[in-house]
Amino acid sequence: MAKQNIYDNEVFFKEYSKLREREVNANNLFELPTLFSLMPDLKDKRILDLGCGTGERCIDYLNLGASKVTGIDISENMLAVAMSKNSNPNITYINMPMEDLDSIDEEFDVVISSLALHYVEDFTGVVKNVYRLLSDGGIFLFSQEHPLATCYSGNGDRWTRDENGRKLHVNIANYCVEKRNDSTWFVEGVQRYHRMFSTIVNTLADSGFRILKMTEPYPTEELVHKYPEYYDLYHKPDFLFVKAVKQ
């Protein structure tokens, strides 16, 4: 079955780009700060970035001391931006889906993936390849959409609200049904794959990884006071982070 490449849908890519250009968004407020708080020492390290997008993080990794960065992404749109705006002699960009990692025969010290693995059907295959590509003691650090976000497949409003429209709690359905859920985000038919917490952890453990840290970022009281719309995250965090080591 063909892998979806939603970021090469022109409507989706245009709207997504507008979202990322906004200074206040969930990526800037929660995802990136958490990712870098979990980052290992990158000095002289060889980095593989799965789902590197437009390459900003690849540049960041070099600035943190990495000796070499390889970024892969399925999207030609993303990589066109990466190569025009974030090129560097020590960065190699490859246009390929991460499910095809078995075609890479190279060793890395750190593998990082930011908000991409929920688009992957064969999570087990990707994890096994990451383990194969990592040096002994190497770190696998990734973020993905939270399982409480990917499981929803019901109809109607995602939230139960009071008479004033205030969100009281999130509506969850089919958490234990692991499957592809299609949703509308800028365009219809955006494919995400839902996996339970136990599947994520056990897949890593069964592949030989030891979990070092799991994090579900949520806002401080000060941030909610400044941006009240992010009170939602007290009900349901948007992101899950996992940091694991190859034993």
Q: Tell me how far apart the alpha carbons of residues 187 and 183 are, in angstroms, rounded to a whole number.
A: 8
Q: What is the pLDDT of residue 154?
A: 60
Q: Are strands 46-50 and 134-145 parallel, antiparallel or unpaired?
A: unpaired
Residue type, 107: E
Q: Tell me how far apart the alpha carbons of residues 221 and 177 are, in angstroms, rounded to a whole number.
A: 34
Q: pTM (2 decimals)? A: 0.93
* 8 A C-beta contact, residue 57 and residue 27: no
Domain 6-146+195-246 in this protein, CATH class? alpha beta
Q: What is the pLDDT of residue 17?
A: 75
Please report, rounded to a whole number, the percentage of residues in the chain having pLDDT higher than 70: 96
Q: Which of 21-30, 44-53, 179-188 is predicted least confidently?
A: 179-188
Q: What is the pLDDT of residue 1?
A: 52
| Span 130-161, pLDDT tens digits | 999 999 999 999 999 999 989 875 666 788 99
> What are the C-alpha distances in Å from 242 to residues 45, 57, 68, 136, 210?
20, 18, 23, 18, 11
pLDDT at residue 2 greater than cutoff 70 = no
Q: Which two tokens stand for residue 230?
A: 């992010």
